[in-house]
A and B are shown apart, each in its own frame.
Chain A
Amino acid sequence: MTKSDSSTLIELKNAGVKRAGKWLARGISFSLHAGEIVTLIGPNGAGKTTSAKMALGLLDLDEGTALQKTGLLVGYVPQKVSIDWTLPLRVKRFLNLTGSCSETEINAALAMTGTSHLLNSEVNTLSGGEFQRVLLSRAIAKKPELLVLDEPVQGVDNAGEEAMYNLIETIAKTLNCGVLLISHDLHFVMSATTHVICLNGHICCSGTPRAVSTSSEFRTLYGSKISANLAIYEHMHDHTHGTDGSIEKLEEMAENSNENKEITTDA
C-alpha cells in the first residue's frame, strides 16, 4: 500500500473533517489502486461514510490531503435510495442516470448482475434484492475505475449476501476496477479484500482480513465475542465463473460455497 504511482485511484493522507467542533473522522490515511478491494468497517458513527466521501473529494478537509486520479470515473452505490412514486422511472432509464450508456453497455451491466429480465420494469416495483442488483448494474454500466459501495448487502439475507459478495468480486476482476466497500457488518469480510480498515473515528487497525481479525485493537473495539466470530468469507475456486454471470449460476455458486465455506475464527 505504499506505492504511489499512476495506478493510485484515491489517496488520503492524515485526512480529517470536523463539524461543530467535533471530529467526524481524523488521521485517516489509505490509498486504493486499480484492482484492489479496500473494506472500511466500524460501528455506527465511526466515520466510514465520511472517510469514503473525503476520499472521493466530496468534503472539504479540515486537515490532511485527499488526492484523486484526474478524471477518475466513479460508480457509486449509496446506502439508501428512495425513488418517489411520482417518478416514472424504468430500469433502462435509471442506468442512464449520470451518463448516457449504449444499449450494449446497459445489457452487459444487467447481465453481469443477473437482472437482464428487469430492463423494462419500473424501478418502484422491484424487490429489495432486485433493486440492490440494479443499483450495482447502474454503477458498473460505464465501466468505472473505482466502485464505491456503501453497505451493498443491506437488507439482503445470508445466502443473498454471499451471492452479492461473489458478484462484487467477479465484477472487480472483470472490470479490473478498484473497490471501496463500506460495511457495518463486523462478522463478515470478503476474503478477496486486499486491505481492511477498521475505523472508530480514527484508523483503529488495518491490514489483511486475517491480520485484522486477530489484532488486539480489533478485539478491544468490538469485544472478544464479536471478533471471535469474524468470518472471513472465502469461496473455493473449484468452479469457473460464467462470463454472463446469470442469476442461476450465482445461486448455484452461493450453494456451493455454503457447503465449502471456510470460516476462520480466532478463539
Chain B
Amino acid sequence: MLDDFLFRAFLGGVGVAIVTGPLGCFVVWRRLAYFGDTLSHSALLGVALAILLEVNIMLAVFVISVLMGLALLMLRQIAPLSSDALLGLLAHSTLAIGLIALSFMTWVRVDLLGFLFGDVLAINQFDLLTIGLGGTVVLLVLKIIWRPLFAATVSPEIARAEGLRPERAEVIFMILMASVIAISMKIVGVLLITALLIIPAASARCFSKSPEQMALYSVLAGILSVIVGLQGSLTWDTPAGPSIVAALLLLFIVSTLTMPKIRSIKRKYSNDAGDGAMS
C-alpha cells in the first residue's frame, strides 16, 4: 500500500496533523502565530541551502529554523526593536534571500510552487519515515516538557518561582516548532504551515474543557481537515496545501457556528437539572 502515492499522501498528511495539533495549541495560547510564520518563511532559505549543498531538505529546513529561533532570541536582547518588527524583518528577509538563492541555481529545475504550497503527492517512503519518526520524537519531547511549558504559558513567574525552569522548556519548544515546520513543509508548503498549527487549535477551543482535551481535539480537527482537503484536491484538481487550509477554515466556521447552540442546549439542560434538584 505504501507504493500508492495517494495512500502515502493521506498517511503523511494525517501524521503531520497529529503533531501540529498539540503544538498548535501552544502557538495559540502563547500568541506565537507570527513566530511560526517567521520560522516557516525562513524554511525557503533552508530549501535553497539544501539544494546548494546537496543535503536532505527537511534537515536543512530544520537547522535554518532553529537558527532563526535562536537569532530571534538574541536580537530580542540587543536590538532596539519590538518582537513583531523583528519577526517581520527576519521572515521577509529570509524569504527574499531564499528566493534569490533559488533563482541563481539555474542548473536545477526547482518547483517553487511545490515548496510554497506543498507537494503532497510527491511524498516518498523516506519522507513518511521522517514524518513518523520525527513526529513521534516531537510528541514525546512535548509530553516531557508539557508541565513546565504549560505552567510558563499560564504564568512564567509562578513556573520560575516554583522551580520549573521555564526558560529551558521554552527553548526546547522552539526546537520542536522548527522540527514540525521541517516535516510539514512538504504537505502544506512554506506559506501555509502556520494555518495547520493555528486553525485546528482555534476550532477545538470552544469544545474543550481542559488544555489536554484541546490538544486532543486539535489533532482530530487536523486529521479531518487533511482528509477532506486532500480528497477535495483530488476531486477538483486543486493544489493540495491550499485545499487542506480551506478545509481547516470550513471546519473552523462550522465549529464556531455550532458552538453557541451546543452551549445553550447544555445550559438549558443544566438549568433543568438544577430546577429538579431544587423542587
Contacts and interface: CB of A to CB of B under 8 A. Distances in A.
Contacts of B143: none
Nearest to B217: A88
Nearest to A68: B163
B209 interface: yes
A88 B161 contact: no
Contacts of A140: none
Nearest to A88: B208
Interface in A83-130: 83-84, 86-90, 93-94, 97-99
Interface stretch (A36-44, A74-82, A165-173, A245-253): A74-82
Contacts of B201: 86
Interface string B26-60: 00110100000000000000000000000000000
B161 A78 contact: yes
B158 A76 contact: yes
B147 A58 contact: no
Nearest to B201: A86
Contacts of A97: 150-151, 154-155, 158-159
A99 B147 CA distance: 8
A94 B205 contact: no
Nearest to A57: B163
Interface residues of A, number: 20
A86 B31 CA distance: 10
Nearest to A94: B154
B160 to A, nearest CB: 6
Contacts of A93: 210-211
B154 A78 contact: no
A148 interface: yes
A98 B205 contact: no
A97 B166 CA distance: 13
A68 B151 CA distance: 22
B163 A87 contact: no
A74 B202 CA distance: 34
Nearest to B148: A98
A89 B213 CA distance: 10
Nearest to A77: B158
Contacts of A87: 29, 153-154, 211
A98 B210 contact: no
Given A76-B157, A76-B162, A78-B161, A90 B29 contact: no
Given A86-B28, A98-B162, 11 more contacts: A75-B162, A76-B158, A81-B157, A87-B153, A88-B208, A88-B214, A90-B209, A97-B154, A98-B158, A98-B159, A98-B164
18 contacts: A58-B160, A76-B157, A78-B155, A81-B155, A81-B158, A84-B31, A87-B29, A87-B153, A87-B211, A89-B154, A90-B210, A94-B154, A97-B154, A98-B147, A98-B151, A98-B159, A98-B162, A98-B164
